[in-house]
């Protein structure tokens, strides 16, 4: 059977930009290995895509800057930068994204009418709140996802929500009344959705079209477990690691306070990779505890550098209380580190079934106490935690390698094109 011809919609698709853009790029690149793809993406991604040289002849650039640039500038003013107020960012992206798809539909109208493509697949944006203009307007089946979103703020972290400037989160569900919101999911042949918190949000989608697939993945060439020693098996000191933007919802405060407040961890060290508005507070906490020699602020690092640091670490501690995807958890698992996470959202799902330590979601003081206990337990029961890390590594390599995800997606394409039921796709459940 020939490879399907797929028009990929990937407005965010950039090999050099973190988070969603690099995920979109790596997914599109992997799909190019299992299908005959043409990628429609934003013109802002051209320099980095062409520099990478991997998808150059498969990409069409769409220029909606007349609205996108102005809305981005307005959003940045409203957010007070680009580090917080994610809900505001999503709301301001609504009109620019619809214009992106409208221009894409116009650019490919003849190809879609002639049957040059077998299928249309939107891979970014991944938020359910940003609908599709194209869905239902083509003769080809429309696939959307993987999607991720709809994770509520925990009530116990109202102060963090305030510092995150996420007051508009309370009106999120109004997106369902916006133009194209219902038709996007009602007309989709397949809706790929991440975790239960997202699937529950898709009230307009036909249940038989929903396939559970997390959006995250990892690059095996970069994130792998070729390390000098297994976790907590080498000479002291042990290394605990936090990687992520230093913003309120990721709660780096819990890691710092747990580590610096433990007498059992004084001979060990904590590395913090990332930057953000919480950094001054965290540095002040470390200074007050007199732990500057044990807590190392690494700043922002490249993905390759993060992978090396993960392989050199014994445990990855990630107490985020509103993490939708948690690709960084899968990367840490692939690198062989023990993962300690808050049992809420994606991290809790990823660390289930003996793949990591799940600390119950609770107010800050209890979270600090239990994160500290989990870190100390790694030193007390190293063999148990090494086995946990090995289970997690196997899980990541089996399901989240980008090539494995692309192969899984190709099977979904085949089922959609052949009109077969989708209920058998449950590997990620």
Q: Are 273 and 183 in the same domain?
A: no
Q: Say if residues 99 and 64 touch (Cβ distance below 8 Å).
A: yes
CATH number at residue 168: 3.40.50.2000
In a domain, 423, yes or no: no
At 84 the pLDDT is 65
At 264 the pLDDT is 96
Going by C-beta distance under 8 Å and a sequence separation of 6 or more, which residues neighbour residue 87? 166, 168, 169, 172
Give the number of domains in the chain: 2
Q: Are 164 and 248 in the same domain?
A: no
In a domain, 161, yes or no: yes
At 86 the pLDDT is 65
In a domain, 366, yes or no: yes
In a domain, 317, yes or no: yes
Cα 186–192–196 angle (5° rounding)? 100
In the chain, how long is the greatest CA-to-CA distance?
A: 70
Q: Are 178 and 34 in the same domain?
A: yes
The pTM of the full predicted model, rounded to 2 decimals, is: 0.87
Q: Are 194 and 262 in the same domain?
A: no
| d(C-alpha 278, C-alpha 164), whole Å | 10
Secondary structure percentages of the chain, helix, strand, coil, to 5: 45, 15, 40
Going by C-beta distance under 8 Å and a sequence separation of 6 or more, which residues neighbour residue 391? 353, 354, 355
In a domain, 256, yes or no: yes
Q: How many DSSP H helices and E strands does the chain contain?
A: 16, 13
Q: Are 255 and 288 in the same domain?
A: yes
Q: Please name the residue that has the structure tokens 């793809």.
A: 37
Residue 61's SS3 state is strand
In a domain, 411, yes or no: yes
In a domain, 426, yes or no: no
| d(C-alpha 99, C-alpha 107), whole Å | 12
Q: Are 57 and 170 in the same domain?
A: yes
Q: Are 277 and 142 in the same domain?
A: no
Q: Are 212 and 286 in the same domain?
A: no
Q: Are 200 and 345 in the same domain?
A: no
Residue 81's SS3 state is coil
Q: Are 343 and 312 in the same domain?
A: yes
Residue 416's SS3 state is helix
Closest to 279 measured CA to CA, from 316, 252, 306, 317: 252
User: How big is the chain, counted in residues?
Assistant: 429
Q: Are 243 and 359 in the same domain?
A: yes
Tens-level pLDDT at each residue, the chain (429 residues): 689 999 999 999 999 998 889 999 999 999 999 999 999 999 999 999 999 999 989 999 999 999 988 878 887 887 777 766 667 777 778 999 999 999 999 999 999 999 999 999 999 999 999 999 999 999 999 999 999 988 888 888 888 878 877 777 777 787 888 899 999 999 999 999 988 889 999 999 999 999 999 999 999 999 999 888 899 998 889 999 999 999 999 999 999 999 999 999 999 999 999 999 999 999 999 999 999 999 999 999 998 999 999 999 999 999 999 888 899 999 999 999 999 999 999 999 999 999 999 999 999 999 999 999 999 999 999 999 999 999 999 999 999 999 999 999 999 999 999 999 999 888 887
Closest to 232 measured CA to CA, from 377, 354, 107, 349: 377
Q: Are 360 and 245 in the same domain?
A: yes
Closest to 58 measured CA to CA, from 38, 42, 77, 44: 38
The number of angstroms, rounded, from the C-alpha of 27 to the middle of its chain's C-alpha atoms is: 12
Domain range for 57 is 5-217+401-418
In a domain, 200, yes or no: yes
Q: Say if residues 345 and 323 touch (Cβ distance below 8 Å).
A: yes
């Amino acid at each position: 059977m020939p490879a399907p011809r797929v028009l990929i919609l990937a407005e965010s698709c950039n090999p050099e930009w973190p988070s969603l853009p690099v995920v979109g790029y790596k997914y599109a690149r992997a799909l190019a290995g299992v299908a005959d793809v043409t990628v429609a993406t934003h013109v802002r991604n051209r320099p980095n895509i062409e520099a990478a040289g991997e998808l150059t002849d498969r990409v069409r650039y769409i220029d909606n800057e007349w609205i996108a640039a102005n809305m981005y500038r307005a959003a940045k003013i409203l957010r007070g930068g680009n580090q917080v107020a994610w809900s505001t960012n999503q709301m301001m992206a609504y009109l620019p994204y619809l214009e992106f798809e409208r221009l894409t539909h116009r650019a490919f109208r003849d190809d879609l009418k002639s049957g040059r493509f077998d299928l249309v697949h939107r891979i970014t944006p991944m938020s359910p709140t940003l609908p599709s203009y194209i869905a239902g307007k083509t003769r080809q089946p429309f696939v959307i996802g993987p999607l991720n979103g709809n994770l509520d703020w925990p009530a116990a972290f109202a102060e963090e929500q305030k510092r995150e400037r996420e007051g508009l989160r309370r009106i999120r569900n109004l997106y369902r009344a916006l133009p194209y919101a219902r038709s996007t999911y009602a007309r989709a042949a397949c809706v790929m959705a991440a975790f239960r918190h997202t699937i529950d949000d898709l009230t307009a989608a036909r249940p038989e079209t929903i396939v559970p697939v997390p959006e995250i993945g990892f690059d095996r060439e970069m994130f792998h477990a070729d390390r000098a020693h297994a976790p907590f098996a080498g000479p002291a000191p042990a290394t605990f690691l936090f990687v992520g933007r230093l913003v309120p919802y990721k709660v780096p405060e819990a890691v710092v306070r747990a580590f610096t407040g433990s007498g059992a961890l004084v001979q060990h060290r904590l590395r913090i990779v990332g930057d953000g508005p919480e950094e001054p507070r965290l540095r002040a906490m470390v200074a007050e505890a007199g732990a500057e020699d044990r807590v190392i602020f690494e700043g922002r690092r490249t993905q390759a550098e993060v992978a090396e640091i993960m392989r050199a670490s014994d445990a990855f501690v990630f107490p985020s209380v509103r993490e939708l995807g948690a690709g960084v958890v899968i990367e840490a698992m692939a690198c062989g580190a023990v993962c300690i996470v808050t049992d809420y959202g994606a991290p809790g799902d990823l660390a289930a079934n003996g793949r990591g330590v799940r600390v119950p979601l609770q107010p800050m003081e209890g979270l600090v106490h239990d994160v500290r206990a989990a870190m100390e337990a790694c030193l007390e029961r190293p063999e148990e935690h090494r086995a946990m890390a090995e289970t997690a590594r196997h899980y990541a390599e089996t399901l989240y390698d980008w090539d494995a995800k692309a192969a899984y997606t190709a099977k979904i394409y085949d089922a959609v094109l052949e009109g077969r039921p989708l209920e058998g796709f449950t590997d990620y459940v």
